[in-house]
Amino acid sequence: MSKIAVLGYGVVGSGTVELFYKNKDKFNKKIGKDLDIKYILEIRDFSDSPYASKFTKNIDDILNDDEVTIVAEVMGGVTFAYDYVKKCLEHGKTVVTSNKELVAKKGAELLKIAKEKGCNFLFEASTGGAIPIIRPLHQCLAANDITAIAGILNGTTNFILTKMINEQMSFEDALAMAQKLGYAERDPAADVEGHDACRKICILASLAFGKHVYPDWVYCEGITKLTLEDVKYAENWGGAVKLIGSVKKCADGKILPMVRPAFVCANNQLSHISDVFNGIMVYGDAVDEVMFYGRGAGKLPTASAIVADIIDAAKMEGTSVSQTWEDSADNSFIADYKDDVVSVYVRVKGVSKDKVSEVFGNVEYLSRENQPSDELAFVTEAMPERSFDEKLASLGGEVLGKIRVLELE
Amino acid sequence: MSKIAVLGYGVVGSGTVELFYKNKDKFNKKIGKDLDIKYILEIRDFSDSPYASKFTKNIDDILNDDEVTIVAEVMGGVTFAYDYVKKCLEHGKTVVTSNKELVAKKGAELLKIAKEKGCNFLFEASTGGAIPIIRPLHQCLAANDITAIAGILNGTTNFILTKMINEQMSFEDALAMAQKLGYAERDPAADVEGHDACRKICILASLAFGKHVYPDWVYCEGITKLTLEDVKYAENWGGAVKLIGSVKKCADGKILPMVRPAFVCANNQLSHISDVFNGIMVYGDAVDEVMFYGRGAGKLPTASAIVADIIDAAKMEGTSVSQTWEDSADNSFIADYKDDVVSVYVRVKGVSKDKVSEVFGNVEYLSRENQPSDELAFVTEAMPERSFDEKLASLGGEVLGKIRVLELE
C-alpha cells in the first residue's frame, strides 16, 4: 500500500508524525487503506527517537523507493524544499506541503509538473494552518463566481493587535510578549511587515482566479506603524484594526490583491477574531459570504492539514486533481491599488476642521479619551486612493496615521 | 457526458437551475467535463419557462435514461423524496440532496444502497446551506479525533434571537417579523421548537461518529419559552442566548447529541453570529477548534452547495466515496443528557439568597435593569443535570426561566 515520506522533523514534521500515528488506525479504517510512514528525512540526529529506523539523510532513498507514493514536505524555506519537491513530483510522487513560501513562489511550476506526471501537489496546510480553506474554496465553492477573499492570515500580528486593543499594550510591548510566548520569531519582519500574510493571499488569489499571483506583485503594508491612538479611534468608529490580506475582482476583470492594516467594521465577523486565530472570508455570487475560522499555525493544527492531505492523496491515488492554476507571464492582470476606491482614516495634527472640509469635503470625525486639542481624526468618503493621496498632500499639518477602511463589495 | 436531473422546481430547485446555467461554462472548463441538465421533475406547469423542454412529470423518464448519472433531489419532505431517491440510487445514479429530513431519517439506508451500487449519496446542502461543512468535516478534518460539534444551525431562530438581543423585541414580535420577511413558515414549529436544528445535528453527529443518530433519540428544546429578561441576564453574564445544536463525545465512549437554547460566552465565536447566519464549530484533537460560517438557507446559497455536489459527483464518477456511516440498531450509544455535567442559569421569583446558597452552594448572581426586588437570577456551578433538577425542585418559589450554559470541553 501507499508508503509516506516526511521531509523535515522540526515542529510541523514531528507534529505530523505524532498525529499520524495517534489516529492512524481510525482513518485507515475509514478509507480502507493501510497507510504508513516509511522515511523521515532530517539532517539532525534522532537515533533515540521511537521512529529512529525511519530516519534518513539522503533524499535519494526516498526518490528511488517506488513504494513511496506520497511525500510530505514540512521543511520550510525555498532552496532545498524546492529542489526536493520538484524531484519528488518528477518521480511521480504526490507531494503535500505546509510551505507557503514555496507555494507562493513556485506553485504554478510545481502544479504543472504534478499534472504532467499524473500525481498531485497539495497544500491545504500552507494557508490558514488547521483551517480547511484550500479544498473548500476549490471544491465546495466551485459553483460560485468568487468576487473577493479577505482574511486575517497571520496569527502573530493578530495576537499583537488583540493585545493592543484589549489591554492597551503598545506595539513594541505586544511584540515582545509574542516573542516571549514563541508566537513571533526573533526577527519578526516576515510577520509584522506582512510578508507571511502576503504569501497566503497569493496562494488564495491564485487558486480562486486561476493565475499565479507572485508576492512581488502585491502591495504589502505591515503593522509596525500602528499606534494605540489608531486602535482607540477604530473602536470609536465602531470596529477594530486588523491586518487584512485580501483580493477582489475589479470591474475591468483585473484582480487586486493586497495586504495592509484596515479598519474592520464590527458587523464583519473578521473584527471578532482574536489572539492567534485566523479567519478567512470568501465572497461569491451564490454564497454571499462564508467564513472559515481556526488556528492558523502551531504543531498539531498544521499537522492536521498535512495529514488530511496525505489521506486525500491516498484516496485519489492515480488521478490528478483539478485543484490547480496556470502560470502568469506578467502582472498585467493585477490592478493598481492606487486606482482602488477607498475610505481612509486619517489622524492629523495642527489642521483645522475648516481645512479638512475644504480638502476632503464631508468626513466622519472620530474621538478618543485624552485627545489633544490640536489632533483631529476622521474617516473620508470613498475615493480613488490616488485622489486621496493628492488631497492628503494638500492638507498640511503633520499626518500621524492613516489606515484604509475594509470595503470589498 | 454526465446528464443531470433536478427533482423539484421550488425555491431551491429553481435556484439550482439558475446557478448551474449562470456559472456552467466556468466550472465545466475547470473540471474538463460537459455537464448539462437534461430533466426537471415537477408536477406544476412551467411551459413558459426557458427550460420548458426539460420538464417532466414522470420519474421513470429519469430512471430509465442511462445518460442521467446525477440526480439533484430538492423537493423536500420525505414521502416522495425517499421513494425517488431510493429508486435513483438503485439504478446506480448518484444523488445529491438538500433534504435534511430525508438524510436525518433515512441517511444510513440510502448511503448503504449507494455503496452497494457504486454510486454516491451526497448532502452538503442539507446542513448549513451555503456553508461548506459536510465535506470539510469528513475530508479536511479526517486526521482528527472529533471531540465535539456545536452550531447555530437554524437561521430563523437566530434571526428571532438577534432581534430580541439587539432590538429588545419580544419573541412573539420577532417571530411575526420573521414570518413577514419570509424567514419563518406560517407554522413555525419546525424552526422554533428546534426540530430543524435537530435534523442537522443528527447529520453532523452521524458523519462525525460513524453511526446513524435518529432525530427521535435526541433531546430537543426550542426557544418558545425564552423571554427578554433571559436575554438581558445573558448579556449581564457576558454572552448571548443562542439556539445550539451540539454533539460531544463522552468519557464512556457514548455521544451526547442535543438541541437547546444556551448561554454562549462572548469569547466563543458562535456568540457573535447574528441574523439569519449559521455557524458551526468543530472541536478535534489536532485542530483544537475550527468554525464555518455563512448563510444557512436561501435560494442561491443552498443552490451553491447543490451545484458543488453535482460538480464533485461528476469528478468522482464511477467511484464511491468514503463519506458515509453505518446504521445503528438501537440508541445504546447515545448518552442520557440528564447525566451531563452542566452549569445552569436560573431565574426565580420569591426565593431568598440564603435559600439559593443552601440549595445550590456557590452561584454567580446576575442583574438587569428594572429587576424586581423579589426576582433572582444566577448561574450555578457545574453539576449533573439530574442533581440540578433535584436541587431546583427543592428551591421553592416560582421558576421563571432556566437555560443551560454551553460548555463542551
Collect all residues with Cβ–Cβ distance below 8 Å to B196 and sequence separation of at least 6.
B100, B153, B154, B156, B190
| Domains annotated on chain A, with CATH | 3-130+300-315 (3.40.50.720), 134-294 (3.30.360.10), 337-405 (3.30.70)
Please compute the mean of the pLDDT values over residues A184-195 and round it to a whole number.
Answer: 92
Q: Quick: pLDDT tens for A16-32.
A: 999 999 999 999 998 88
- Confidence check: pLDDT of B409 > 80: no
Chain B contact for A30, CB < 8 A? yes
Out of A286, A293, A315, the one facing B303 most closely (by C-beta) is A286
Q: Which of A139, A307, A315 sits opposite B135 (nearest CB)?
A: A139
Task: Inform me whether the pLDDT recorded for B156 exceeds 90.
Answer: yes
**Model pLDDT, residue A177:** 96
d(C-alpha A369, C-alpha A372), whole Å: 9
Q: Write out pLDDT tens, residues A114-166.
A: 999 999 999 999 999 999 999 999 999 999 999 999 999 999 999 999 999 99
Cα four-point dihedral sign B306, B311, B312, B318: positive
What does the pLDDT read at residue A1?
62
Looking up cell 452547495 gives B305
Residue A172: which pLDDT band, with cuts at 50, 70 and 90? very high
B286 interfacial to chain A (CB closer than 8 Å):
yes
Q: What is the pLDDT of residue B318?
A: 75
N-term to C-term CA, chain A: 49
Mean pLDDT, to the nearest integer, of B112-135?
A: 96
Render pLDDT for B256-280 as a digit per residue (tens, 0 to 9).
Answer: 999 999 999 999 999 999 999 999 9
The b/e string for B261-279 (b: 16+ C-beta within 10 A; e otherwise) is bbbbbeebbbbbbbebbbb
Contact B107, B73 (CB under 8 A): no
Instruction: Say what the pLDDT of residue B1 is.
Output: 62
pLDDT digits (tens, 9 = 90+) for A232-259: 999 999 999 999 999 999 999 999 999 9
Give the residue ranges of DSSP H helices in A274-315. 299-315
Strand (E) or helix (H) holding B2: none
Residues of B in contact with A265 (CB under 8 A): none
Q: Is A289 helix (H, G, I), strand (E, B) or coil?
A: strand
DSSP string, B81-102: HHHHHHHHHHTT-EEEE--HHH
- Which has the closest alpha carbon to A111: B315, A135, A119, A257? A119
Q: How many CA atoms lie within 13 A of A16 on its CB side?
A: 33
Residue B245: predicted pLDDT:
98
Report the pLDDT value the prediction gives residue A97, as an integer from 0 to 100.
Answer: 98
Question: Grid coordinates in use for B28?
Answer: 465545466
Q: Does A144 contact chain B (CB < 8 Å)?
A: yes
Taking contacts as CB-CB distances below 8 angstroms, the residues of chain B near A269 are: 269, 272-273, 293
Which whole number is the average pLDDT over B145-161? 97
The string of DSSP letters for A154-212 reads -HHHHHHHHHHHHH---HHHHHHHHHHTTSS-SSTHHHHTSHHHHHHHHHHHHHHHSB-
Task: Share the mean pLDDT of chain A.
Answer: 96
Predicted local confidence at residue B186, as pLDDT: 84
Cβ contact, residue pair B286, A273, below 8 Å: no
Arithmetic mean of pLDDT, A96-114? 97
Alpha-carbon distances, residue B230 vs B150, B165, B167, B378, B394 (angstroms): 21, 10, 14, 11, 22
Amino acid A292: pLDDT: 98
Model confidence at B329: pLDDT above 80:
yes
Global pTM reads: 0.96
pLDDT value of residue B212? 98
Contacts of A176 (CB under 8 A, 6+ apart): none
CB A189 within 8 A of CB A228: no
Burial pattern B195-204, b for ≥16 Cβ within 10 A else e, equals: bbbbbbbbbb
Q: A408 pLDDT exceeds 80?
A: no
Whole-number Å distance between alpha carbons of B221 and B244: 10
Q: To which H or E segment does residue A228 belong?
A: helix A228-237
CA distance A131 to chain B (A): 6
CA distances for B40 relative to A285, B7, B103, B122, B285, angstroms: 23, 6, 21, 19, 44
d(CA B245, CA B267): 18
pLDDT above 80 (res B408): no
Compute the average pLDDT of residues B166-176.
Answer: 96
Q: Contact B136/A141, CB-based, under 8 Å?
A: no
Amino acid B188: pLDDT: 93
- For residue A164, the one-letter residue type is M
**DSSP code string of B201-214:** HHHHHHHHHSB---
**Amino acid identity, position B177:** M
B303-327 confidence digits (pLDDT tens): 999 999 999 999 888 777 888 999 9
ipTM, interface predicted TM-score of the complex: 0.94
Cβ contacts of residue A101 below 8 Å, gap of 6+? A76, A77, A78, A199
Mean pLDDT of A333-346: 97
Contact B74, B52 (CB under 8 A): no
Residue A276 C-alpha cell reads as 492567534
In the structure, what pLDDT confidence band is assigned to residue B30 with cuts at 50, 70 and 90? confident
Residue A52, C-beta contacts closer than 8 angstroms, at least 6 positions apart: A46
- DSSP letter at B163 equals H
Task: For chain B, say whether A136 makes contact (Cβ under 8 Å).
Answer: yes
Q: Which residues of A touch B292 (CB under 8 A)?
A: 290-293
Cell representation of residue B244:
445550539
For A277-336, write each residue's pLDDT tens digit. 999 999 999 999 999 999 999 999 999 999 999 999 998 887 778 889 999 999 999 999
For the stretch B332-362, pLDDT in tens is: 999 999 999 999 999 999 999 999 999 999 9
Nearest CA in chain B to A279: B291
Query: CA B91, CA B114: separation in Å to the nearest integer?
Result: 10
